[in-house]
Chains A and B, each alone.
Chain A
C-alpha cells in the first residue's frame, strides 16, 4: 500500500490540481446523478399510468343522475370494463379538500358546485381504452374525456428527449473530465520525472512506477463521484415534499434509500473505471 501513501503525498503537494480534478469529476457525476433520478422517476410515472388503463369522463353541470346511470350501465355492458367508479360532486370536493388540505386559500375558493361529477372507468386491456373513450365522447352529457394514453405518450416522448439530452451531456462531460484528468496526471508525471528516472535506474518495474498515478486518478474520480452523488441526493431529499405534491397520487416518492445506494455503487464503479482509464492513458502518453 506504499503507492497510496505516495499518491496522497502528491495530492497534498499540489492541492489546486487535485481540486480541479475533483471538481470536474464532481460536475460529471452530479449530472449523471440528476439524470439518473429524472429518468428513473419518469419511467416509474409512465409505468404507473400504463398499469392503470383508465379513462375519466367529466359530466356537464346540468346532467341528471339517471343519465349518468344509463351511461354507466351502457359502458359496463361492453364487457371490456373491469371497474367503473362514480365520483359525485361531493366526493370530488372531498378529494380536492384532501389534496389541498395544507392550503386554506384554495379550499375557501372551491365549492361542490364548480367541481364536475365524473366516471372513472378502467379496462382490462389498454387497447380497449380508445373504444370506451369514443363511446363516452359520443354522449351529450359528457363535457370532457381524459384519456391516459395521451398522458403516457406525451410522457414517453418527453422522457425520450430528456434521455437523449442526458446521455449527450454525460458523454461530453465524461470526455471533458477524461481529458482534464489526462492533463493533470501528465503534469504530475512531468513534475516527478527525475524521481521516476531514479526509480527506474535502481530497478523499479514499470508497474511500481505507474500505480501511484493510477491510484491518484481513481482517487479523484471516486471523491468527485461521492460528492456529486451527495449533492444530487440532498437536492432530491429537500425537494421531495414539493415533488410529492406535484406528482400527487403517483406513488414514486419518497425515493428508497436502497435505490440511492445502488446509484452510488454504480457511480463509484464507473468513477473507478473512468479514473483508471484516464490516468492509464496519461501514463501511456507520458511514461515511456
Chain B
C-alpha cells in the first residue's frame, strides 16, 4: 500500500531531511511514526501526498509511483489520502461544517449528498453540535477533531495524522488516539506521527522511529528478523 524505497530528501539548504529510508506499510495497519522534532516525520508525510519529491529513491502509494506521477494526477492522489496537518490548516473564515464540506466540494460531489456525508462524519467524530461555529470559537481538542473530520470525509484509504495530540492535555490526547484507532478498525490505514511517549507505550502498535532523517527502529522489521 505504502512503500518507501531507499528514499533520501535533501533540502535546498543542503540539509538531509531523510537519508536512505526504506519502509512499507500494509493495508489497514496502524503505525506510529516517532522521533524528535526535525527527525523527518513531516517530510515523510509531505512525500506521501506528493507535496515534495524525493531527491533519491521511489515512493509508492496505492500502486502509484509518486516520483513519476504527472502533475494533473496529484489531486486524484490527494483525494485518496486524508491528512490531519500539524498546523491543522483549517479555513478560519468558514464554519466547521463548511471546512469539512470542502474536500467534497473539491471532488464535485452533489450538494445534498455532500451535506449528508458531512453530518455523518461530524456525528461520528462527535462535534456535530459545533457544526455552525467558526474555528476560532473552538478548543484545541475540538479543532483537532474538525481536522480529522475533514480528513475522513472522503472516506480515504489512508489517514496521515501529523502530531494530532501535539498541543492537547493527556485526557483529550487519549480521546483523539481512541478516535484514530476506531477509524483504523473500520479499515483505514493510519499513520500517526507523534512524540508522545505515553501513548506509544500504552498502545501496542507498530512503531517506526526516526532520528535526524534516519530510520532507527521499525518493529515490523524487528519482528520479521526475530522470526528468522
Binds A, one of B62-70, B73-81, B134-142: B73-81
Which chain A residue lies CB-closest to B76? A203
Give min CB distance, A245 to chain B, whole Å: 59
In the assembled complex, the CB of A203 is this many whole angstroms from the nearest CB of chain B, namely 4
Please determine whether B51 and A201 come into contact, CB atoms closer than 8 angstroms: yes
B106 touches A204 (CB 8 A): yes
Distance from A27 Cβ to chain B, minimum over Cβ atoms (Å): 32
CB of B91 within 8 A of CB of A202, answer: no
Closest A residue by C-beta to B88 = A198
Residues A201 and B106 in contact, CB atoms below 8 Å apart? no
Interface mask (A194-211 → B, CB under 8 Å = 1, otherwise 0): 010111111111101000
Contact: A199 with B51, CB < 8 Å?
no
Q: How far is A202 from B106 in the complex, measured between Cα atoms in Å? A: 8
Given that A195-B91, A198-B89, A198-B91 are known contacts, is A205 also in contact with B105, CB under 8 Å in the complex?
no
* Contact, CB under 8 Å: A203 / B105: no
CB closest chain-A residue, reference B51: A201
Q: Are A2 and B79 in contact (CB under 8 A)?
A: no
**Number of B interface residues in the complex (CB < 8 A):** 20
Main secondary structure of the interface of A (DSSP, over half): helix
The docked-state distance in angstroms from the alpha carbon of A198 to that of B147 is: 12
Q: Is B150 an interface residue (CB 8 A)?
A: yes
Minimum C-beta distance from B98 to chain A (A) = 11
In the bound complex, residues from chain A placing their C-beta under 8 Å from that of B78 are 200-203
Task: Report whether B75 and A203 are in contact in the complex, using a CB–CB cutoff of 8 Å.
Answer: yes
Task: Give chain A residues whose Cβ lies under 8 Å from the Cβ of B76.
Answer: 203
> Once bound together, how far apart are the Cα atoms of A206 and B106, in whole Å?
10
Within 8 A of B (CB), among A1-42: 2
Q: Does B16 contact A (CB under 8 A)?
A: no
Contacts of A205 in B (CB 8 A): 72, 75, 106
Q: Quick check: B102 and A199 within 8 Å, CB to CB?
A: yes
Select from chain A the residue with minimum beta-carbon distance to B81.
A203
A203, B79: Cα distance in complex, Å = 5
Within 8 A of B (CB), among A171-207: 195, 197-206
Q: Which 4 A-B pairs have the closest CB atoms?
A: A203-B78, A203-B79, A204-B106, A205-B75
Given A202-B106, A205-B106, 18 more pairs with CB closer than 8 A: A195-B91, A197-B89, A201-B49, A201-B51, A201-B83, A201-B89, A202-B78, A202-B83, A202-B150, A203-B76, A203-B78, A203-B79, A203-B103, A203-B107, A204-B75, A204-B106, A205-B75, A206-B72
